[in-house]
Structure formats: structure tokens, C-alpha cells
Chain A
């Protein structure tokens, strides 16, 4: 078990290394191949009116004049050991884990990230609760009433749910529920959970439901397929042969088998979502990680981009690890291996 965890940890570090190197390369090497010099890259961060001297100073300050690997080593050192930054007027120490300072705002990236993370996490967790509950119940119902009207109707809805893009449903939902009918909070509203949990839920309700619509459709289909397969298993026949009530057969014996594979998919989805629900966040004007990433990319703000990328990758990895550990809890066959 310990060996397993250590192996997973090493794999995670390796993965984060690769992800950061790739992000770094895209940022530096691609412009270089396109003919950009350190100075021409630095112009983006000083404005058009700056003199060549200022531009060059900025390029030096941001490290653009160093070779690629030195820049990467500096950044990596910050992550592990902390790093001092020359802010032009003063030297600031950024303690580990340091994700650097924004090129644009000269603010440290990490506190910003953590701040944005709470928003995205709030969005993801609420939506997940809704889509898991709704998706699984619809899926089970469909499977048990296979071929019935309920089944066909819900599968059509599911197909629609999967097909409709979130920015479209999001805008439609906002315009009706929020602006025309005033049932829900307006776009962009967000109250931290710690301040007022009720308001937190109220503000996020519409994004939750909209996001959940997309996923619950997918989960309903998966649950239905899993359920249909499981209900044909020999052990279900055994459960019935014992004289169990059909309800117990379905909930205790059927669902347990059908839902285990869903765990993997849920881990992936949730991990990805925490990395930034870009479309949902932009549709509802939420200041989450997704929006942060978009802002970073628009402004060519490398530390921001790197920070978000690593954060996202880390969460996908963590979510997968949790799923794998949960598997051992759910399936005793995995445990003994």
C-alpha cells in the first residue's frame, strides 16, 4: 500500500514536470521559431510608448534574455524552494511553493489561484451533487422500465442534454430564469460559502443546474447501460432466487455493481472541471479558474498560465488517485491484489 502510494506520487511529480515543460516550451520556443527576440516579447508587458531601454530592462527582469533551461530552472526553483523577484523598484521574496508573479499585474499568482479555486470548486461540487443524483436516478429508472415511455423520453432528453453546448443553455437559462422571471440570482453573483451558505447556494443555483444538465444526461446514459448489464448478471438471478424483494435486488445488488465503473468517469470529470469550467464560468461571469486561465492566455501572462495548467493537472491526478483508492473500498477484489 505504501509502496503503491509512493509510486503514484512519483508518477504525479513526473507528470507535473512534463506538463510544465510543455507549457514553457509552447510559450517560449514557438515565438522564438517565429522570429521573436527577448525584447520584442517584452514589449507586450510595457506598453507601446516605452523606450527601447525600458523594454530591454523589462526583458532582463522577466528573464527573457536567459537561455530557455535557465528560465525553467529558475521557475522550478521557485516552486520548490521559493525565489526572489526583482520588481524593478524593490526585491520581493516569494516563498515556496512559488508560482511566480504575474507579468502584467505584478501580483503573486498563487494567492489569486487559491481564491479563484474556491469559486470553481463551489461550482463543481454543487453541480456534481445534482448531476450524480439526477443522472443515476434517471438511468436506473430507464433501465428498469426499458423500452417504456419513461425510458424513451428520458433518453431523448439525455441526448439533447449532451448535444446542447453549455454557453448556449447557460445564456438561455440566464435570460429567462434570472432576467425575465427573476427567479434566480443574476449572472456573476457569488457569495463565499464562509460568509453566507444560503446565499452561496442561491447565487450558484442556476450555474449548477445548467452544468448538471450536461453531465446528468451523460450519467443517465451510462447508468442505464451499466444497470442493464448488471441486471443480467448471475448474481442478480441468485439474489432473486433467495426471495429478495425486487427493490432490494435493484438497490443493494444491482446498483452496487452498475455504479462502480461510473466512479472512474466521475473522478475524471470532476478533476477536469476543477481545472476550470471555462465555458460555464464565462457564461455566468464567475471569477473561477477557467476565467483566470482565459485571462492569462489573452494577456500572454506566462506565470498565470503555468499556474493554472499545473493546478488543473494536479487536480486531475488527485481525483484519479482518490478514485483508485475508492475502488479498493468498493470492490474487495481490488483490495487483495
Chain B
């Protein structure tokens, strides 16, 4: 099973209290076709002032995880177990009303597509004012001043004029800035960014990533950035969690994940990306096959049907699910191969070809 005891918790931290502490989270959706195990035993934590990157492909459960932290799953539709402690308060065990009060104030979220994530019929200003007034008992006028300040802070030119514009009158990058202004309007302690730059152009993406980094420094909040793009994570994250089929397969500091990754899936992700910063390789090294269905997650290690090194485990990977184990220095890996073996494969086979 997964880690529950304190010492076993991944701790690539700078000490201090864990602002967000997720323990053995399971999110299952009963459907007509069967039980969809979107998240199946996930543990991680984030401190204030730190950024956690959650990386995975579609269907890995990364977005479901973020919605659970926000308490946005309908209780009837999803079966959630485990603990999600936000500054000590458990989101899973709290009532709907308690979680609602936390949303926006303790934790806020920005989404992938800012055009569809903002209401088309209300002005950007109205939507920020609304967010601010939920948690702050102030007059509309005061809230408006605050909204203009926020827009100015996220780099919207002429904020006192743009505050009255509608989302469709903004450009893509400006919309995402406005989204960020809205999310930060109540000064949340935890900011979750779900693919915040996927819908944006490269040059705009760079601006938004810079903005998130600057704001985090300024507000000293904990940040979770969810993405499929390892490049984006490398830009922002202090720690990285690699998800596969609703589970964590590797968890460590950004340096550990990029410089000495130990899970074959992480290798696969790195090998699949054409590297902009290296000599052009003649061939990419893809992962064979496709991600599994979450209704029929493969027995044993969920990655084994796609793993090139599966035979190294002598069939163990087919039978038994590997646990996420600390290799020492707070670097957690869920793989049946021995650490020595993994390090050797990385050094001799994978790294030279990247």
C-alpha cells in the first residue's frame, strides 16, 4: 500500500510546516462501465513559498487531484478517501460549507483555457470584484479599486479602463493574466495552476510563467503547477511529482527528477521530448503503447506493459504493485528494479541518448 506514516512521507522540503499535505488520496468515479480509479493512493505535500510540479499525460489523474484539493468534486459522483490537509484542515472531512469558505481564500485555482473559464456575460472587473467580496466585506467601490490594483499588478495595461471590458475583448495572454488576478484577489495561501499556459503562444507562455514566479515570491504562497510539459515544470517547480495511472511513480526535487531520474516512465517522458537545448538526436525514444484505461489498470506495476525494462524484475512487475520508496535523500521511486540497477541503466543506457 501507500505511505501513510510520517517518516515515510516524501520530504524534499526546506523543513517548516506543510501547508498542503495530501495523504493516501483516492478519487474513484463509479460509472456504468465500471469503477474509474482516477487517483489511487497519492501522497504529497507543499510548503509555503515552494512550487510543486505535477507531471503526467492525459488520464494520469493530475487534474482530478487538483479538483479534489479544491473540494470541487461532487460528493455524489466521486468517492474520495484519504486526507487533504490545507493548513491542518481536512478538505475531505469538512462540510461543503466549510470547504466553500476555504475556496478562493485559502486555496485558489487558475485553469487551462481562460476564455472558457471566465463568464462571457460579465466584465472582467465584475468577476474579480465578485471573487474579492465573497471573502472580504467591503463596498463595491472599494472592491473595484482592489480589482484595478490586481489587474495592474498582473501587468494589464490601462487597468482602470480594462476593468470594464469583457473577457472576449482581451487577448489570450491578457485573459490568463486576468484569471491570475482573480485567483490572487483574496491573497490565497495555495495557488493551483492547471495547465496554465497550454492554450497560449510560446512568447506569451514565457510571460505568464515569469508572472507566476514573481507573484509567488511576492505573496509567499504555496504553488502547484499541473502540466504535461516537462519544460514548464523545469522553469518553475522546486519539487516534481510524476503521475501515471492515478499514482505517483516518482517524486523528488526538480534536480533529482531531471538529473538523476530513476523511474522508466520518467525516462520515457524525457526521451520522448525533442530537446531544444541539446544536440539534435537522430531519433526520439518514445514510450511504446498507450496510457491504460483507468477502469482496467494493469495488474502489478501499472506501467509494466509499456516498460522496456520489465523483464529485469523477473515477472514481479506483472504481479505486484511497487511501492513508492524513499531512495535516501527524499527521492521517491515506485519501481521493482533495484536502485543500483536503475542508476546504472540511467547512466549507461538512457542519459547518453538524450
Is the pairing of A and B real? yes
List residues of chain A with CB under 8 Å of any chain B CB: 233-235, 237-246, 253, 256-257, 330-333, 336
- Name the residue of chain B whose CB is nearest to the CB of A254: B119
Contact check, A245 vs B100: say whether CB atoms are below 8 A apart. yes
Q: Is B72 an interface residue (CB 8 A)?
A: yes
Question: Given A234-B116, A235-B118, A235-B120, do A243 and B166 touch, yes or no (CB 8 Å)?
Answer: no
CA distance A65 to B215 in the complex (A): 87
Question: Given A238-B117, A241-B109, A256-B121, do A332 and B166 touch, yes or no (CB 8 Å)?
Answer: yes
Q: Pick from A234, A246, A332: contact of B117, CB below 8 A.
A: A234
Q: Is B131 an interface residue (CB 8 A)?
A: yes
CA distance A243 to B186 in the complex (A): 11
Residue-wise interface mask of B (52-95) relative to A, using a CB-CB cutoff of 8 A (1 in contact, 0 not): 00000000000000000010100000000000000000000000
CA distance A243 to B132 in the complex (A): 10
Contact check, A331 vs B117: say whether CB atoms are below 8 A apart. no
Q: Is B168 an interface residue (CB 8 A)?
A: yes
Q: Is B233 an interface residue (CB 8 A)?
A: no
Q: Is B160 an interface residue (CB 8 A)?
A: no
CB distance from A277 to the nearest CB of B (A): 33
Contact check, B134 vs A244: say whether CB atoms are below 8 A apart. yes
How many residues of chain B are within 8 Å of chain A by beta carbon?
31
CA distance A330 to B120 in the complex (A): 10
Contact check, B116 vs A336: say whether CB atoms are below 8 A apart. no
Question: Given A332-B168, A333-B166, do A239 and B119 touch, yes or no (CB 8 Å)?
Answer: yes
6 A-B contacts (beta carbon < 8 Å): A234-B117, A242-B131, A242-B134, A257-B120, A332-B123, A333-B166
Q: Is B101 an interface residue (CB 8 A)?
A: yes
CB distance from B71 to the nearest CB of A (A): 9
CB distance from B296 to the nearest CB of A (A): 26
- Name the residue of chain A whose CB is nearest to the CB of B185: A242
8 extra interchain contacts, Cβ-Cβ under 8 A, other than A244-B100, A336-B169? A235-B119, A241-B103, A242-B108, A243-B104, A253-B119, A256-B121, A332-B123, A332-B166
CA distance A242 to B147 in the complex (A): 14
- Name the residue of chain A whose CB is nearest to the CB of B131: A242
CA distance A235 to B101 in the complex (A): 19
Contact check, B120 vs A331: say whether CB atoms are below 8 A apart. yes
Contact check, B116 vs A333: say whether CB atoms are below 8 A apart. no
CB distance from A238 to the nearest CB of B (A): 5
Contact check, A331 vs B100: say whether CB atoms are below 8 A apart. no
Q: Is B135 an interface residue (CB 8 A)?
A: yes
CB distance from A252 to the nearest CB of B (A): 8
Q: Is B113 an interface residue (CB 8 A)?
A: yes
Residue-wise interface mask of B (104-131) relative to A, using a CB-CB cutoff of 8 A (1 in contact, 0 not): 1100110101001111110100000011
Residue-wise interface mask of B (151-188) relative to A, using a CB-CB cutoff of 8 A (1 in contact, 0 not): 00000000000000010110000000001001100100
Q: Pick from A243, A246, A333: contact of B134, CB below 8 A.
A: A243
Q: Is B354 an interface residue (CB 8 A)?
A: no
